[in-house]
Amino acid sequence: MLEGARLFGTAAAGILMGLTAMPVSVIAAHRHDEMRGAGGWNPAPAHSPAGYDCKLPQGWGQVAQRRTQFVVFGEIHGTVESPAFVGNIACALAARGERILVAVEHLSIHDPALQSAWNLPHGTFEATVRQAGWAERKDGVGSEAMMGLLVYLHALKQQGRSVDIVAFSGAKDVEQDRRFSDQSGQGPHEAAQAENIRTAAAARSYDHVLVLVGNLHARKRPVERGGSLFRPMAMQLASPDAITTLGMKTSGGTHWGCGLKPGVTPEVGKPFPADAVQCVSNIMRGDAQLKRAPFISLKATPDIDADDNYDGFFWLGPVSASPPFAVPDAHGG
């Protein structure tokens, strides 16, 4: 059993795993049609979700110079903009003839179903992939924007681009969970994430592996939680010089996330009822107020300090919440 389940109970552990921002204030949830109409993006494949222009962001050259196969984007889950940022990079690199693997933080136990859907015609992909673990996701990992990313990547694949995907989060079976059980705290979960990405990356000769994951997992320094010190996924994925990790920076806005309801105090070692968790649109404080298009930097800027947890950062500007794909009325429970 994963550490989150040990501390809080199995039902809530799946929601809370990787949570990096707790609710500050609940605001009205964005509806699907409002988000799709925002931004005026110029999609590359036909019927792309809003927000995709298939262009590399300014600063990608800094990443390219490092010549690392793995590029890890440490996000705060539940925004429209973060999945689109990664999708555009995947598209632009694939358009250059690169072979790309995009790793998404969905449960690895659903990866076989995801791979089966990946081989289907585009018209049936979305309806099929939604059965691969989406129904139980009310957090930002299961957002409309994340589904939009997968649909977009599948469209690229159908157009002949060399793009693959993998769902890597958590142990894929009991044996894998057992092998990493000697690690402290959340370490077994992180180790399983890393191994699942490595296994998928080794299956073909990929030029780049783009990993979209919660920012805790993307850190290159140990993390202490609940009195235990553990190594995040990025520390267990490969040697430091084979990975570029980027932390997400924004000018603020909203994101969709899950956390304990006000007044709920968890007891260590005891489960709490599922109704103790709420999934809502949350206010996200900004890191700076830059009037710039999204970009990447491996250096500190006058407005954004260096963070030793990452090699650099990716800047999104203002962000907006993306509610769960599997909840038609966009209200969490």
- Give 206-263 pLDDT, tens digit per residue: 999 999 999 999 999 999 988 889 999 999 999 999 999 999 999 999 999 998 888 8
Angle between helices 144-158 and 122-129 (to 10 degrees): 150
Give the Cα separation of 49 and 43 in Å (integer): 7
Residue 65 belongs to what H/E stretch?
helix 60-66
Mean pLDDT of 22-35: 29
User: Torsion over CA of 222, 308, 64 and 94, rounded to 10 degrees?
Assistant: 50
pLDDT band at 19 (very low <50, low <70, confident <90, very high): very low
Task: Find, among 214, 60, 222, 231, the residue nearest to 143 by Cα.
Answer: 214
- For residue 34, what is the DSSP state? H
Count CA atoms within 13 Å of residue 27 on its CB side.
15
pLDDT at 26 over 50: no
CA distances, 90 to each of 29, 192, 207, 321 (Å)? 29, 24, 11, 22
Query: Any bridge partners for residue 101, and if so which?
Result: 164, 209
- The pLDDT assigned to 25 comes to 28
pLDDT at 89 over 80: yes
Mean pLDDT of 76-92: 97
CB 281 within 8 A of CB 264: no
- The pLDDT assigned to 242 comes to 95
pLDDT at 16 over 60: no
pLDDT at 327 over 60: no
pLDDT at 320 over 90: yes
Amino acid at 196: N
pLDDT in tens, 90-106: 999 999 999 999 999 99
Mean pLDDT of 282-289: 95
pLDDT at 276 over 70: yes
Mean pLDDT of 193-202: 98
Task: Provide CB contacts within 8 A for 118, sequence distance 6+.
Answer: 125, 154, 157, 164, 165
pLDDT at 30 over 80: no
- The pLDDT assigned to 46 comes to 53
Task: Find, among 162, 230, 151, the residue nearest to 194 by Cα.
Answer: 230
- The pLDDT assigned to 13 comes to 39
Give the Cα separation of 182 and 129 in Å (integer): 34
Tokens 């358009």 locate to 95
pLDDT in tens, 203-218: 999 999 999 999 999 9
Question: Which residue did the predictor score with more confidence, 39 or 115?
Answer: 115
